[in-house]
Structure 1
Amino acid sequence: MGFPNRLIGVHLYISERTVKNHLANIMAKLHALDRTHAVVTAVRHGWLSL
């Protein structure tokens, strides 16, 4: 399971709302249904390695 938005915000020194906005933008650009789908899409395109 991934990190909650609040914890991501704490680590990046941004608000939880900003995290939500960034995630929404990423998911829209990738046509992802959820975070997992976004990660899978990024890995398949070689934009992210695990």
Structure 2
Amino acid sequence: WNKGHENIGLRFIVLEDNRLTAARLTLIGAVAQVISLGLEIFAVQPAEEMR
């Protein structure tokens, strides 16, 4: 998360480019779904929160 502070190109949300922001958020959602389904296949319960 902190890399976006150093390099603007690494931020998920780009206020000046709605299409890029939408594409990045869609990709994040797809990756989250793949990880979730993979964990489900292996019967792994993910942590709700990392501390």
The TM-score, its normalising length taken from structure 1, stands at 0.38
Relative contact order, CA 8 A, sep 6+: which one is greater? 1
The TM-score, its normalising length taken from structure 2, stands at 0.37
**Greater C-alpha radius of gyration:** 2
